[in-house]
Chains A and B, each alone.
Chain A
Amino acid sequence: MSPTREEQHWMYRNMVTSRRFEEAIAKIYFEGKSPAFNMANGPIPGEMHLSDGQEPVAVGVCAHLTPEDVVTATHRPHHQAIAKGVDLDKMAAEIFGKKTGLSGGRGGHMHLFDDNVNFACSGIIAQGMGPAVGAALSRKMQGKPGVAVAFVGEGAVNQGGWHEAMNLAAVWNLPFICVVEDNGWGISVAKETASSIGSHADRAAAYGIPGKRIEGNDPYAIFEAAGEAIARARAGEGPSLLECETYRLAGHFMGDAEAYRPEGEKDALFEKDPIPKMRERLLAEGTASEADLDTIEEESAARVDAAIKFARESDDAAPEDALTRVFAA
Chain B
Amino acid sequence: MTKSNERKLTIARAMAEATAQEMRIDPSVFVMGEDIGPLGGVYGNTRGLIEEFGAERIRDTPISETAFIGAAVGAAQDGMRPVVELMFVDFFGVCFDAIYNLMAKNIYFSGGNVKVPMVLMTSTGGGYSDGGQHSQCLYGTFAHLPGMKVVAPSNAYDAKGLMTAAMRDDSPVVYMYHKGLQGMGWLGTEAGATVHVPEEPYTLEIGKAKVVREGKDVSIVSVGMGVHNALKAAKKLEEQGVSAEVVDLVSLVPLDRDTIRASVAKTGRLIVVDEDYMSYGLSGEIIASVTEHDISVLKAAPKRVAFPDVPIPFARVMEQFCLPNPDKIVAAWDEMQAA
Contact = CB atoms under 8 A, between A and B. Distances in A.
Interface of A: 36-41, 45-47, 94, 97-98, 101, 104-111, 122-126, 155-156, 158-161, 186-189, 193-195, 255, 259-260, 316-323, 326
B134 interface: yes
Contacts of B285: none
Given A47-B130, A105-B315, A158 B63 contact: yes
Rank and list the top 6 A-B pairs by shortest CB-CB distance, nearest first.
A108-B314, A105-B315, A97-B315, A319-B321, A40-B128, A45-B129
B17 interface: no
* Residue from the set A107, A187, A188 with the largest chain B CB neighbour count within 10 Å: A188
Contacts of B90: 124
A46 B34 contact: no
Given A122-B133, A158-B64, A45 B128 contact: yes
Contact of B314 (A41, A105, A158, A318): A105
Interface of B: 34-35, 37-39, 42, 60-67, 90-91, 93-94, 127-134, 185-188, 308-311, 313-322
B60 A322 contact: no
Contact of A111 (B93, B314, B320): B314
Given A158-B62, A187-B35, A106 B314 contact: yes
Given A105-B313, A316-B315, A322-B310, A156 B64 contact: no
Contacts of B313: 105-106, 317, 322
Chain A interface, DSSP helix/strand/loop, else mixed:
loop
B128 A159 contact: no
B64 A160 contact: yes
Contacts of A317: 313, 315, 317-318
B310 A326 contact: yes
Contacts of A109: 131, 314
B186 A38 contact: yes
B232 to A, nearest CB: 17
Contacts of B66: 160
Contacts of B315: 97-98, 101, 104-106, 108, 316-317, 322
Contacts of B65: 159
A327 B181 CA distance: 33
Given A46-B130, A159-B63, A160-B66, A316 B317 contact: yes
Contacts of A39: 128-130, 186-187
Contact of B38 (A195, A260, A323): A260
Contact of B63 (A38, A104, A123, A194): A194
A160 B129 contact: no
Nearest to B60: A189
A81 to B, nearest CB: 15
24 contacts: A37-B186, A39-B187, A40-B127, A40-B128, A40-B316, A46-B128, A46-B131, A108-B129, A108-B130, A109-B131, A124-B94, A125-B63, A155-B63, A159-B94, A186-B62, A187-B42, A188-B35, A188-B37, A189-B37, A260-B39, A317-B317, A319-B321, A323-B310, A326-B310
